[in-house]
Chains A and B, each alone.
Chain A
Amino acid sequence: MRRQRASLRRPRKRRSRVLLGFLIAVGFVLSGVIGVVAYFMPAIVTAFEDTGHTIDRSLQTAQPSAGASASASAAARASAPPAVAPPGQPFTVLLLGSDNDAKFGGTVLTQSMILARVNPKTRQVVMESIPRDLWVPLSTGGSAKIDAAYLHGGASASVATVEEDFHIHIDHYAWIGLLGLVNLINQVGGIDVVATNPVMDDFYPKDLTGKDPYAYERVAVLPGPQHMNGMQALMYVRSRHGDLRSDFGRSQRQQQVLLALRAKAKLLGIADLPDIATAMANDFSTDMSISEIASLLPIASSVQLQNVQQVILASPYTSVLVVSNQDALQPNWNLILPLTHKFFPAV
C-alpha cells in the first residue's frame, strides 16, 4: 500500500519538478526581456511618440497641380505606386527641417526641404533641395511659399504639396527641429565638415541660447575642414545673410551636413538607438517605424560620397518673384520637372 502511494507520488513529484524548472526558465526569460526592454525604453518611447506617424494622403487636392491638368493628375493618381516602396526597392524620403524655437509659438514653417532618393541595391543617393521660398500651389488650397505647407497641414501637407507640384511619389518623410539636429550631432560626437567659404553673419538669430528669441548674434565659420559640434553645425546650415546665394548657399551646406552625418552613421548600430532617441526626443517625427530607421543605418554607412548626387534649384530653375509684398521664387517647371524626374520617378 505504501509502495503504491510512493509510486503514485513519484510522477507527481517529477511533474512538479518539471513545472518548477519551466517556471524558473520563464523567470529568466522574463528577466532577460525586461533587461532588453529597459535598455530600449527611450527608443520604444520615441517609437510610440515620434515614429510611425502616417501620411494623411487625403490632403492631396483634386485641383490642378503646378504643371499638369486635373485630368492628368487624376490619371496619374489612379496609376500611383503603392504608398510605401517594398523593402530593398528604391524609395524617396522628404526631409524637413524647421525653426521651431520660441518665437514661432507653434506656427512652424519648414526652412529646409530636401528630397532624397535612396537606392539600397546600388547604394546611390540623390539629394534635391527645394527652396523654401518657392511659390507653389499648396495641397491645402491656394498658393504660397512652399514652406507654409507644413504650417497649414503638418508633414502630410508638405508631402502632398511636393508630390502634386513635382509629380513624384514620396514614400516617407522625416521632420527635425533645431534642437533635435543639435542634439543628434552632439550625440554622434560632432561632425567633420569642409566649410565651403567663410560663413559670416551679423544678424544670426540668437533664439536657442538667449532669453530673447528675437535677438541677434554674430557668426563666423572659418573655411576648410573642421570639427563642428551641434550648435556650430546649426550656425553653418542656418546662416544666410552673408551669402550671395542666400537660401541656395545654405541648401548646399545643409546637404553637406547630411553627408557628414552619414559618415558618422558608419559607427552606429542598433544598440545606439536609445541614446539617439533620447537626444532627439520631441524634436523629431517620421512615418517610418523604428525598425525601418534601423534598417537604413547600414545603407547610410555604405553609401560612397561619389555615389551621392546633389541638386540645387538655383537659376535658371528658379527666378526672383515679388508677390503680396514678399520676396519669393518663381519655379520654372519646364526645367525643374525634367531635372527632378531624372532622379525621382514621375507619377
Chain B
Amino acid sequence: MKRALTVILLLALMAGFGLGVNRLIASRKHNIPTESSVFIPTVTRPKIVLPGTLYLAQNGDIYRLSDGFFTDLHLSTASGSWMQPAYVPKSQDIVAVLRAAEYSNLYLLNSQGSIIRRLSNNANVHLDTVYLNHWMFYPHMGADGNTLYFSYDQPKNSSTLAVDFSVWSGTLSAKLATAQLTNSNPFTGGDVDPTPMASGTIIYSKYAIGSGNAYSQVALQGKPLSRPIILTTPAQDCGQPAPSPDGTKVAMICIGGTGLQSTRLEVATLTAGKLGTPQTLVNNCLCSAPVWAPDGSGLVYYNTADATGHFELWWIKGAWSAAPSAPLQVTTNLDFDASSPPSWSPLSSVPVMAR
C-alpha cells in the first residue's frame, strides 16, 4: 500500500514536472497581444491635462478628452466604425464619419454622442453594383460653424477603375455635397485632409504618382477647381497639413526614405502662399495627424509608444518656439485610430445633456 502510494506520488510529481517545463517555456513567449486582444482600456486619466476638449477615435468609437478625463461617447458600432470627429465651432456638436464595409456617411452628433441627423446617404441599395457606393472622409468645419469641407470619391465614372478623392464642400443647414473644390490626379487616391484657413483657402494633401512612386504634396486651393498652389516638393512627400490657429504656421507629416516605413513631424511658416524652411520636431517615427492647440501653444499628434505598436497621444509645447519642449506622451495603454485626426475644441468643458 505504502509502495503504491509512493509510486502514485512519484508519477504525479513527474507529471507536474513535465507540466512545469511546458509552462516555463510558455512563459518565455513574448506575449505580443494578438489582433483580437489589442483593444485595451478606453477610459483613463492621461498623464498631463490639456486645455479645451479633444475628440479622438479608438476601436470604432469616439472619446472626449476634457479636464484630464476621457469620456466614451458610447456610439453604436452596429452598422460600422465611428472615426474622424470634427467639432462644430459656435456649438457643442461634432461631425463624424460612420464607416461601413462599402461606404461611409457623415453624421451630426451632439457632445454626448446622440445622433442629431445623418448628413449624407452614400449607400447603394443594389448589391450587384457595389461601385455605386461612395466614401466620405476627413470632415472639417469652417469657422462659420456651417460650412463643411470633406473628401468625397466623386466624380466617379463606372466605366473606369479610377476611384479618387476630391475635396468638396457643403453646409450643415442645406445640401451637403454642393461644390467640388479640387480636381484630383486620377489613379492616385486623390485629395484628402482638407482644412479651411482663415483666408478662405483650403489646405490639403494632394497625392500624385511620379517616377514609380506615390507621394503627397501639401497644397492650397483658393477658388473652386482652380490650379492649386503646391507648397512642398515630391521628394519631401509631406501631407496631413495642420494650420496653426493664426494661419502662420503649418504642421505636417513627411515620409522618410527608410523603406517608406517612418515619418517626420515638421513645422514650417506659411507666408504669402509659401512655406518656409521646415523645422523637424520628431524624426524617424510613426507620427501622424498633428493638430494645434486652439491657443497655438503647442500641438498634439499620434505616435507609437513602443515596438508593439498602439498609437498614443503626444504633446509638444511651444512647437514653433525657439526651444520646443521634448515630446511628452499624454496617454498610455490606448490604441487610437491613427487615420482619425483628433479635433481640438477651445471649449474646456462640455455641459452634460440628457441623452
Which A residues form the contact surface with B (CB < 8 A)? 24, 27-28, 30-36, 38-40, 185-194, 196-203, 216-218, 220, 222-227, 229-230, 241-245, 248-249, 252, 255-256, 259-260, 263-264, 266-272, 275, 305-306, 308, 310, 312, 314-315
Contact = CB atoms under 8 A, between A and B. Distances in A.
B324 interface: no
A197 B189 contact: yes
A229 B81 CA distance: 15
B18 A35 contact: yes
A194 B22 contact: no
Interface in B11-29: 11, 13-15, 17-22, 25-26, 28-29
A198 B190 contact: yes
B35 A185 contact: yes
Given A189-B34, A271-B26, A226 B131 contact: no
A194 B263 contact: yes
Contact of A188 (B19, B21, B32, B214): B32
A263 B308 CA distance: 9
Given A31-B18, A269-B30, A225 B338 contact: yes
B69 interface: no
Contacts of A30: 14
A189 B18 contact: no
Interface string B181-205: 0000011111010000000000001
Contacts of A200: 135, 153, 163-165, 189-190
Contacts of B205: 223
Contacts of B304: 192
A197 B18 contact: no
Given A227-B310, A242-B187, A244-B188, A256 B32 contact: no
10 contacts: A32-B18, A40-B25, A187-B34, A198-B189, A198-B190, A224-B289, A242-B164, A260-B261, A263-B261, A271-B25
Contacts of B71: none
Nearest to A246: B187
A268 B101 contact: no
Nearest to A315: B212
Interface in B203-243: 205, 207, 209, 212-216, 239-240
Contact of B239 (A189, A223, A226): A223
Given A24-B10, A31-B14, A35-B20, A194 B261 contact: yes
Contacts of A202: 130-131, 161, 163
Interface string B242-282: 00000000000101001111110000000000000000000
B162 A242 contact: yes
Contact of A259 (B164, B240, B261): B261
Contacts of A227: 38, 309-311, 335, 338
B260 A194 contact: yes
User: For chain B, what secondary structure do more than half of its interface residues adopt (helix, strand, loop), or is it mixed?
Assistant: mixed
Nearest to B258: A305
B178 interface: no
B35 A230 contact: yes
Interface of B: 10-11, 13-15, 17-22, 25-26, 28-30, 32-38, 101-104, 130-131, 133, 135, 137, 153, 161-165, 186-190, 192, 205, 207, 209, 212-216, 239-240, 253, 255, 258-263, 286-289, 302, 304, 307-311, 335, 337-339
A229 B309 CA distance: 12
Contacts of A223: 189, 192, 205, 207, 216, 239, 339
A39 B35 contact: no
Contact of B212 (A220, A267, A314): A314
A222 B192 contact: yes
B161 A189 contact: no
A252 B14 CA distance: 53
Contacts of B253: 224-225
A229 B304 CA distance: 16
Contact of A189 (B10, B38, B135): B38
A193 B263 CA distance: 11
A305 B262 contact: yes
A199 B259 CA distance: 18
B32 A267 contact: yes
Contacts of A270: 28
A342 B134 CA distance: 46
